Amino acid sequence: MGEYRIVIPVYRGQHAENWVRLAQHLLPAEDGHIDLIGIVEVPLGHSLSEGALQAQECREELVRIAEQCAELPVRISPHVWVSHAPWLELLSELQDEPADLLLVPWVGIAENVLGVRVLELLAHAPCDVILVQGTIHRYDRVLMPVRGTAHLPLRMRLAYALHRLTGEPITILHVQDPEGDRPPADPLTMIEEMRQQLPSPVELISEQGEPAQIILEHASAHHALVLGATLSERLGEPGLSAVHESVISQSLIPVFLVRSFGEQAELFERIALPHVVITSSELSAKVDRWFATNTFHWSEFEDVRMLLQWKERSGQTISLALPALNEEKTVGRVIETLRSALMEEYPLLDEIVLIDSNSTDRTREIAQELGIPVYIHQEILRDEVGSAVGKGEALWKSLYVTKGDIIVWIDTDIVNIHPRFVLGVVGPLLRWDRIQYVKGFYRRPLREGEHIRAGGGGRVTELVARPLLNLFFPELSGLIQPLSGEYAGRRRVLERVPFFTGYGVESGLLIDLLELCGLNAIAQTDLEMRVHHNQPLSNLSKMAFAIIQVFMARLGQRLDAPLGEAMHRTMKIICQEPGRMYLTEEEITERERPPMLTVPAYRRRFGRSEEAALQHPEPYQHAQDDESGGR
């Protein structure tokens, strides 16, 4: 038998802490798995991406709850779902990943829950169900009426769980209707047998009369009701008994409605599933959902002590690699700020290294004076693989000289450096195993001398990268700043993808990681504002030229067409001087480095086998969808 799994779907403000603690006591043993799913429901006709900010708020709430309940001997996994039809998606999830128990807060018998009528949920959930009507603030006086034996084992287990939460006895009310049908089995005998297995204190009351009236009279002296939800088929629709409907509609206290799957499986097969038409195209909805669920804000991870706890639980190490070329004006402050906050005050980073591209100013000297290991990328693995020019080459070779399980890259030209640039891209990797790669995005003002003008940054992003992604790789069209220089990823996937050596490295990584891991493994984080020294338009033109080469190369692979061979590798540069205008020619070639795992020296350093270089990282390959800076 596998691990017992309880699924709890909640909307914001539904006091999910109560449900988690109750679920822990419902586990058959003190080991199991609780999936806490935060629901953000978007109306039909609206883009799922509109749920992004609500998803961030919901996710923060769920993570806080999971941390508050971290002392419980159970694994708690918080997730956020943004959906037009949450029940249908949950039903599909339960069919693909079976659960043992669905614990659902709800409003009332005539209201929808998860987008469908309560009775439809009871009829179709392929597992045991406990619906909880109303907000439970007190569990200490619980009434469990019984007339027959339907759903009795699960109801007794729930009663015992409530007893373990409060220490108070449970009242069992045996109701006999003198005019009704006698149950096929004696519930009192069954209750007595189960009391031997679940020895909670029980006060037993037996009365005759009209069932709904008796139950409601006794309910006035209690804080919650535990009812069995025996369904019957009425004209092809599921329904509760008249007694249950009367009690639920008139009850002044919250109601637990319990339904065991095994007892009514045949009925569930006969009742047709509800059908909801979603008009968005499949790809568009996929990207919109990704945008809503895999877009983070750095403030979700500003509690560094919480990140340290996640890091300790996972046993991972983190390396910060700083690519640099002639950044003497900013590199010192970047190093001092991040080392002080994230190594000295809090030991989040295990190492910081500078990957220099043969600077001609004092960049390397400044880093060395600050005690930071410095590597010149042209000298790393020179005998094994030679050397190429470009930032992408520096990033590729940084995999060899760093040690961490998570690699963080931060550009060294940031004027307003802040720990958030690291926290925002590391946080999702530490909290969610499914996420393999995180890009930063931010507002990018233009700096003109001592003045900063709002807007204007990211010109190559908006005029080249994002249009090309939308045209040829639309799954990545939700990336706000695909060319940003602040990002992080897991070594186990970064070592398995090729790196372009120049300005196209960021585009190439996104496309290749999408192919290797799937869209849901990629995420993005809002880092707010980034101030840096902006490039002149002539340099941006060269960047665009290199980036387009990457897109054409990958598109050619997809189409099995030699587009790379057809591309011209030199660019005409327009030069204008007083009284003179002419053209010069510059070669701009994006060289492609193979996955670092194919380099023998790397495999020896990290103890990787040659066979490992040919394998894809499972289970991240094509994961099913459930996430330089001056450019």
Question: Are 418 and 526 members of one domain?
Answer: yes
Whether residue 613 has pLDDT greater than 70: no
Question: Are 316 and 409 members of one domain?
Answer: yes
Residue span of the structural domain in which 194 resides: 134-277
Q: Determine, yes or no, domain membership for 199.
A: yes
Alpha-carbon separation of residue 227 from 173, 188, 240 (angstroms):
11, 16, 11
Q: How confident is the model at residue 111, as a pLDDT?
A: 66
Q: How confident is the model at residue 532, as a pLDDT?
A: 64
pLDDT tens per residue across span 493-502: 999 999 999 9
Question: Are 441 and 360 members of one domain?
Answer: yes
Question: Are 318 and 268 members of one domain?
Answer: no
For residue 142, what is the enclosing H or E element?
A: strand 142-146
Whether residue 629 has pLDDT greater than 50: no
Instruction: Provide the percentage of residues in the chain whose pLDDT is more than 70.
Output: 84
Question: Are 358 and 458 members of one domain?
Answer: yes
Question: Are 424 and 531 members of one domain?
Answer: yes
Residue finishing a domain among 245, 277, 309: 277
pLDDT tens per residue across span 400-438: 999 999 999 999 999 999 999 999 999 999 999 999 999
Q: Determine, yes or no, domain membership for 71.
A: no
Return phi, psi of residue 618, to 5°: -90, 145
Q: How confident is the model at residue 189, as a pLDDT?
A: 73
CA 4-6-11 angle, to 5 degrees, is: 165
Question: Are 339 and 260 members of one domain?
Answer: no
Q: How confident is the model at residue 545, as a pLDDT?
A: 92
SS3 212: helix
Domain total for the chain? 2
Residue finishing a domain among 228, 247, 277: 277
pLDDT tens per residue across span 86-130: 998 898 888 888 999 999 987 655 567 888 888 888 888 899 999
> Could you tell me if 493 and 622 are in contact, meaning their C-beta atoms sit under 8 angstroms apart?
no
Least confident of 197-201, 212-216, 313-317, 388-392: 197-201
Dist CA 353 CA 361 (whole Å): 18
Residue whose token pair is 């998570």? 406
pTM over 0.75: yes
Question: Are 568 and 506 members of one domain?
Answer: yes
Q: Determine, yes or no, domain membership for 500.
A: yes
CATH of the domain at 259: 3.40.50.620
Alpha-carbon separation of residue 525 from 23, 157, 427 (angstroms):
32, 43, 9
Dist CA 578 CA 75 (whole Å): 71
